[in-house]
Amino acid sequence: MPAAISVENLFASYDGKTVLNDVSFSIPRGASFALLGPNGAGKTTLVSILCTLRLPDRGTARISDFDVVRQPTKARETIGVVFQDSSLDDRLSAWENLEFHGLVHGLAPRLRRQRAEDVLALVELTEWSDEIVRSFSGGMRRRLEIARALMHQPTILFLDEPTVGLDPQTRQRIWSYLERLRREQHLTVLTTTHYIEEVESADQVCIIDHGQIIVQGTPADLKAAHGSRWLHVVPRDEATATEIAARYPQVQRLGTALALPVPDDAMADAFLATYRTRLEEIRFQEPTLESVFLSLTGRELRDRADGQRDAQRNAGRRGGQR
In the complex, the residues that contact ligand ATP under the rule CB under 6 A are: 14-15, 19, 37, 39-45, 161
For the chain, how far is it from start to end, CA to CA, in angstroms?
47
Across-strand partners of 261?
230
Nearer to ligand ATP, 250 or 312 (CB): 312
The whole-angstrom separation of Cα 127 and Cα 134 is: 16
Least CB distance from residue 305 to ligand ATP, whole Å? 10
> Given strand 252-254, what is the order of strands in its sheet?
252-254, 257-262, 229-235, 279-285
Least CB distance from residue 27 to ligand ATP, whole Å? 18
Nearer to ligand ATP, 107 or 207 (CB): 207
CB proximity list for 24: less than 8 A, separation 6 or greater: 7, 8, 9, 10, 59, 213
State which residue has the least CB distance to ligand ATP. 44
Helix (H, G, I), strand (E, B) or coil at 212: strand
Nearer to ligand ATP, 41 or 88 (CB): 41
Least CB distance from residue 303 to ligand ATP, whole Å? 12
Least CB distance from residue 41 to ligand ATP, whole Å? 4
Nearer to ligand ATP, 31 or 164 (CB): 164
Nearer to ligand ATP, 68 or 133 (CB): 68
Nearer to ligand ATP, 122 or 205 (CB): 205
Least CB distance from residue 221 to ligand ATP, whole Å? 23
Least CB distance from residue 39 to ligand ATP, whole Å? 4
CB proximity list for 20: less than 8 A, separation 6 or greater: 10, 11, 12, 13, 42, 45, 46, 49, 56, 211
Least CB distance from residue 139 to ligand ATP, whole Å? 20
Least CB distance from residue 276 to ligand ATP, whole Å? 44
Helix (H, G, I), strand (E, B) or coil at 245: helix
Whether the CB-CB separation of 161 and 84 falls below 8 Å is answered with: yes
Whether the CB-CB separation of 215 and 289 falls below 8 Å is answered with: no
Q: How many CB atoms lie within 10 A of CB 96?
A: 16
Nearer to ligand ATP, 39 or 170 (CB): 39
The whole-angstrom separation of Cα 89 and Cα 119 is: 18
> Given strand 66-67, what is the order of strands in its sheet?
17-27, 5-14, 58-63, 66-67
Nearer to ligand ATP, 164 or 231 (CB): 164
Exposure letters 115-149 (e unless 16+ CB within 10 A, then b)? bbeebbebbebeebbeeebeebebbbbbbbbbbbb
Instruction: Name the nearest CA neighbour of 198 among 223, 226, 179.
Output: 179
